[in-house]
Amino acid sequence: MTETVVVFLQAVSATLAWVSGLLFYRFWRESRDVLFVFFSAGFSVMAFAWVLLAVISPTGEARPYIYAVRLLAFLLLIAGMIQKNRST
């Protein structure tokens, strides 16, 4: 794939993750369930990671640091699931 296609696909992924974060935020406003806050934050961080990958060279040396940001997003999702299962 060319670099232009890779950047385009990363932008699409960032947009979809951002929209997912907004949807989970809306679900949280309606239900006040903490799981939705964690999911909203996780998907927002994931969108930020995709934007970083699109802006910074996706094949550059900074890529592992961006994956650390993505790890934070997944840890937020896992923390939300643990919190939801502990509270019931």
Q: What is the pLDDT of residues 27-67, one digit of tens each?
A: 999 999 999 999 999 999 999 999 988 888 766 677 788 88
Which residues constitute the domain of residue 51? 3-87
Residue 62 DSSP one-character state: T
32: left (phi over 0), alpha (psi -120 to 50) or beta: left
Q: What is the DSSP string of 18-33?
A: HHHHHHHHHHHHHH--
Distance CA 53, CA 73 (A): 15
> Could you give the number of structural domains in the chain?
1
On the CB side of 20, how many CA atoms lie within 13 Å of its CA? 18
Q: What is the pLDDT of residues 7-25, one digit of tens each?
A: 899 899 999 999 999 999 9
